[in-house]
Amino acid sequence: MLRFFVAEGLHTCFAAALVSCYDLVRPDVVMELAWMNGLMPVCMPFMIQSFRDLNSRVETLMSERKERAAREAREGDEAARGPGGAMPQALQGMLYNAPLALEAPAQLVGQGPMGYPGAAGMDPAQMGGFPQQMGGQMYPGM
């Protein structure tokens, strides 16, 4: 319809169609038609309104994004602090007073692999050797 009005030289109808069909017409199509046919002053109100609408949509999205990021940061801080709002005392002690290295429990000192008594300090040759020492076989005799 816009192309018809431009081809017939009906510039006021072109302008009226831009106003009445604002939500249905793409701004790039309007700008192309107006530029190619010398109708930039006629389409300028439509283009200004299009830019204004686009700008307000972008501003709305950006403000919602900032609000969501701030809310997620607050929720993340609250989750890290625990239900009471502050970091639990036991957790603070674990974080700040934790030993730098783990010590073996006293009942395992002097025990061998997997906690078997008497195996600690044994020579691998006394335990049957490694597979490489037995000709590469994992289980001799098989």
* 22 within 8 A of 46, measured Cβ to Cβ: yes
What dihedral do alpha carbons 25, 26, 31, 34 form, nearest 10°?
-20
| Band of pLDDT at residue 34, cut at 50, 70 and 90 | very high
* 120 within 8 A of 110, measured Cβ to Cβ: yes
Helix (H/G/I), strand (E/B), else coil: 117: strand
pLDDT in tens, 63-98: 999 999 999 988 887 776 655 555 555 555 555 555
Residue 58, pLDDT > 80, answer yes
CA distances from 84 to 76, 87, 91, 103, 105 (A): 14, 8, 13, 33, 34
Whole-prediction pTM: 0.49
| Band of pLDDT at residue 121, cut at 50, 70 and 90 | low
Domain extent listing, the chain? 2-78
